[in-house]
Amino acid sequence: MVADVSAAAKGKVYLVGAGPGDPELLTLKAATLLRSAGLVLYDDLVPPAVIAMAGRQALVVSVGKRCGVKHVQQAEIHTLMIEAARQNLSVVRLKSGDPLVFGRAAEEMDALRAADVPFEVVPGITAAFAAAALIGCSLTDRRTASSVEFYTGHKAADQGPSQESPAEAATRVVYMPGRSFRSFAEDRLQAGDAADLPCCVISRAAQPEQSIQWSTLSELGGVVPGPAPVLLLTGWALAPAAARDAGERANDSAPLSVAPDCVPAHDL
């Protein structure tokens, strides 16, 4: 049975992972969005075979760089996405690998949020996983390697000296963290991580019954995770998302304000 995947919606931007290069490694959702999009903005590292999957109706535009030479500035990409969505086009922002791994997705999501443009992130296979598969090497091995860290040689030109201590500089993703986080939290606090370091526990990510729990490192030991599989994420990069979640929960819990001469709809 073929999955029923929705076409790209007009007026919406999709940050789509093109994977490591093989078109057959695209997700079904990424392929469907490419075929149905009105505008495709692709990075230079996306191979022609993937770009060719765009539908005939799509305007396909390169907005990437090669060897550090930019022909489109990041701010211009933001403007292109926002203006196209406001013109009721469905926009696919196509990125090599996974959008959330060194793909400037954070900057683009911030711009889209600020412009009140709806968007969705569609994950892709990041290059590290494809490289490991190519050489037949697992990135983790319970006998020799219990963690993976990703680094980039590129930073924003206007980024000043890091305010984080070395212990806190990485975003950590812990697979199969167990049912208790107390030992992990104690170890990280002893290693020098801040007590208010943002933490997120995700149960059954990308599944219909997925659940998300936010915490700080000092409070993490009291979190009871949902059903497996569970992922634990920690790091300052999570801070904006944690703040948004707190704001949404505060709005949801705010009491309904009713004028004296009105009654709530559910009482009518």
| CATH number of the domain that residue 61 is part of | 3.40.1010.10
One domain, residues 176 and 118:
no
Spot the catalytic one: 4, 22, 29, 65: 65
* 95 is annotated as an active-site residue: no
Residue 24 lies in a domain: yes
Looking up tokens 């709530």 gives: 264
One domain, residues 122 and 184:
no
Least confident of 192-196, 229-233, 256-260: 256-260
Say how many CA atoms lie within 13 Å of 223 toward its Cβ: 28
One domain, residues 222 and 117:
no
How far does Cα 235 stand from its chain's mean position? 14
Residue 259 lies in a domain: no
Extract the runs of DSSP E, i.e. beta strands, from 48-99: 59-62, 65-66, 69-70, 91-95
Q: pLDDT class for 268, splitting at 50, 70, 90?
A: very low
Q: What is the mean pLDDT of the chain?
A: 87
Q: Is the pLDDT of residue 262 over 50?
A: no
Q: pLDDT class for 92, splitting at 50, 70, 90?
A: very high
Residue 268 lies in a domain: no
For residues 90-114, average pLDDT = 96
Residue 68 lies in a domain: yes
How far does Cα 47 stand from its chain's mean position? 22
Q: pLDDT class for 66, splitting at 50, 70, 90?
A: low
Q: Is the pLDDT of residue 98 over 90?
A: yes
Domain count, the chain: 2
Concatenated DSSP letters of 153-202: S---TT--S--S-GGGSS-EEEES--S--HHHHHHHHHTT--TT-EEEEE
Residues in the chain: 268
Task: Give CA separation, 96 vs 64, 250, 252, in Å.
Answer: 10, 37, 37
Confirm if 117 and 82 have CB atoms less than 8 A apart: yes
Residue 157 lies in a domain: no
Confirm if 201 and 135 have CB atoms less than 8 A apart: no
For residues 52-79, average pLDDT = 87
Spot the catalytic one: 29, 43, 95, 98: 43
pLDDT digits (tens, 9 = 90+) for 177-229: 999 999 999 999 999 999 999 999 999 998 899 999 999 999 999 999 999 99
* 141 is annotated as an active-site residue: no
For residues 164-172, average pLDDT = 66
Q: How many whole angstroms separate alpha carbon 106 and alpha carbon 45?
A: 19
Domain that holds residue 73: 13-128
One domain, residues 18 and 97:
yes
Q: What is the pLDDT of residue 260?
A: 42
- If you ran DSSP here, which 8-state letter would residue 30 be given? H
Instruction: Return the structure tokens found at 242.
Output: 């944690």
Instruction: Return the structure tokens found at 198.
Output: 């943002």
pTM tops 0.75, yes or no: yes
Residue 2 lies in a domain: no
pLDDT digits (tens, 9 = 90+) for 137-150: 998 888 888 888 88
Q: Is the pLDDT of residue 130 over 50?
A: yes
